[in-house]
Structure 1
């Protein structure tokens, strides 16, 4: 058996190792005991959260404002009470975003949680990249759709004009039919080029849909991180009930679908209540079905069809350009799927996405 002196030396060595770890780690970490007293923190925490040496030994409540996350004390207490790991995104006073992992510090003797270790991973760049990517995707889709749509009208008009010119008297106009034929040939070539571009675009999506097996939960996590600031500001409650999770589809397209639906659920929330959003997935009749249910302001019955039209906006007081739902419908219909909506004004809406599990790539 160890003598008292040997036990003390062992404890000193262990403490030195712990202190050395805390001094040299590049990750912001905090150690908070079961009484919510701040016991230790790593040097990066001093920089990121403006902690000082005199904060050690003080209640974490004295410095909770440094984290710009109002429920941090409740979250820590939850881990102490349940001994379950908690993961959340939080924003600090310098407007940076972190993945916060709260791990229970369990004492083997008695199997009791004696505090928590909190680790912070900087995800600001990832959130920024995801938001920029989503913005570029929306702008790209809108540009292509607008070009394809708007250029058809003058081409159709030109085609009709040529048909009228064909019917004009040709007396004294010997070269006119030749010139008219050249114009008509050019018109046909323009139509073919546009048709090829549009078809190529949709076909590329079909090929992409079969190039990658996706996990729906990973896509949801990307979307949740992209919208983390909006979720935080709205204090929204997100719930997930994932049944079927795997789908062969385009990652970019599926992200756009979920991003737009979740973004709308946040934007059109009701002022008088906290937003609650439930995302479910399950299999039904050969489809992966994804439903997004909210408790927002809802949609009047007469607008349920028009919301999927380009540039159609029901509420002009809320920021938007009226293309999100239009793009979702285009993506789904091209892939052989569909989207439906049910809604009760003042109570909320349910958007349901149907994605075919087996798609024809021919």
Structure 2
């Protein structure tokens, strides 16, 4: 604004513009309120997941423990049966129960308990990501990925997988433990979802652009159908049920990246392959 003066040089009035920012302030307050509610609900959800996962572990240990005791009891019964005097029909029936029926039931009990344990471990990892303290540091991404590939040397060699890092990867900034989880998961997926009877080829590359590091993991695997692309980040969603995973890998990856100002984008063609692009802040 500016002053308006009379002929004697005295201030007579003040001219100016007034901007009503009531709507903007209300919008900011509403946004802050919604963010606070979202944080509270996320904390509640993480707490529920952690408690449920922890409390379910105890009965799971009992199930697996008593399944093992039943296996020992079967062996003891077999020893008793060998010394007992039984008619042929009764002996055959008892042997069928001890050698086939009960072991089959125990097999399903043990397999199911292992699956539950994997799910619980995945849920615990997911809940801990939301509360884990982020310790950002400059990451030598080339060394990090090379170490991951070193740990996978056996499976890479046994399955004749052609996997390579194309050129040095740009250094990013992030929590090294969490970023390692991201690359481990994505490389494991590229290996797991390879095409049967087809040479597996995986390439890892990266570039720095506008203060961001963009990394790509490209494979020639089974690919993802368009109708599944929007669902791959959903909790418990499995691209190929029965593949051994718990359907939490990409959920965890996205959660990790969300907490570190990163993002993930997936492009894929069925029976041609998948390219996963991960963005993280570049090292300063």
- Alpha-carbon distance in 1 for matches of 2:250, 2:210: 24
Aligned with 1:258 (options 183, 190, 198) = 183
* Structure 1: segments with no counterpart, 5+ residues: 1-137, 149-197
Q: Map of 1:249-328 to 2, 5 A cutoff?
A: 249-328=174-253
Take 2:169 and 2:125, find their aligned partners in 1: how far apart are those partners? 32
Q: What CA deviation, in whole Å up to 9, does each residue of 1:170-196 have, x standing for no partner?
A: xxxxxxxxxxxxxxxxxxxxxxxxxxx
1:234, 1:266 within 8 Å by CA — same for their partners in 2? no
Secondary structure (helix, strand or coil) at the match of 2:181 reads helix
**Match 2:158 to one of 212, 215, 233:** 233
In 2, the alpha carbon distance for the partners of 1:356 and 1:139 equals 31
The 10-residue stretch of structure 1 (334-343 or 213-222) with the greater mean CA deviation from structure 2: 213-222
Q: Deviations over 1:123-148 (max 9, x none)?
A: xxxxxxxxxxxxxxx97663153589
Instruction: Provide the residue aligned with 1:143 in structure 2.
Output: 124
Query: What TM-score, normalized to structure 2?
Result: 0.54
Gaps of 5+ in 2: 1-118
What is aligned with 2:94?
none
What CA distance in whole angstroms lies between the structure 2 residues aligned with 1:315 and 1:272?
17
CA–CA separation in structure 1 for the residues paired with 2:128 and 2:146:
33
* Residues 244, 264 of structure 1: alpha-carbon distance in 2 compared, 3 angstrom cutoff: closer
Query: How many angstroms does 1:285 deviate by?
Result: 2.6
Contact 2:171 2:283 in 1 (8 A): no
Question: Aligned runs of 1:98-113 on 2, under 5 Å?
Answer: none
Cα displacement (A) at 1:223: 0.7
Tell me the alpha carbon deviations over residues 284-330 of structure 1, each in whole angstroms, 9 at most, x when there is no partner.
23211110000000000010111111111021131111111111100
Q: Distance in 2 between matches of 1:318 and 1:292?
A: 20
8 Å CA contact 2:122, 2:248 repeated in 1: no
Shift of 1:248: 2.2
- The 8 Å contact of residues 216 and 278 in structure 2, kept in 1 or not, is answered as yes
User: Does the aligned pair in 2 maintain the 1:242–1:282 contact within 8 Å?
Assistant: no
Q: Does the aligned pair in 1 maintain the 2:173–2:280 contact within 8 Å? A: no
Seen in structure 2, the aligned counterparts of structure 1 residues 252 and 140 have a Cα distance that, compared at 3 Å, is farther
How many aligned residue pairs are there? 166
**Distance in 2 between the 1:235 and 1:140 partners?**
30
SS at match of 1:249: strand
Alpha carbons of structure 1 residues 318 and 338: separation in structure 2 relative to 1, 3 Å: same
Partner of 2:76: none
- 2:148 — aligned with what? 223
Cα 1:339–1:216 change in 2 (3 A) is same
Stretches of 4+ aligned residues off by more than 4 angstroms: 138-141
CA offset at residue 272 of structure 1?
Answer: 2.4
Matches of 1:296 and 1:287, distance apart in 2: 28
Residues 1:139 and 1:275: Cα distance change in structure 2 (over 3 Å): farther
After superposition, the Cα gap between the structure-2 partners of 1:139 and 1:261, relative to the gap in structure 1 and judged at 3 Å, is farther
Residue 333 of structure 1 pairs with residue 253 of structure 2: no
Match of 1:31 in 2: none
Counterpart in 2 of 1:347?
272
Shift of 1:335: 0.8
Counterpart of 2:19 in structure 1 is: none
Which structure has more helix as a fraction of its residues? 2
Change (3 A) 1:334 1:230: same
Q: Distance in 2 between matches of 1:225 and 1:304?
A: 30
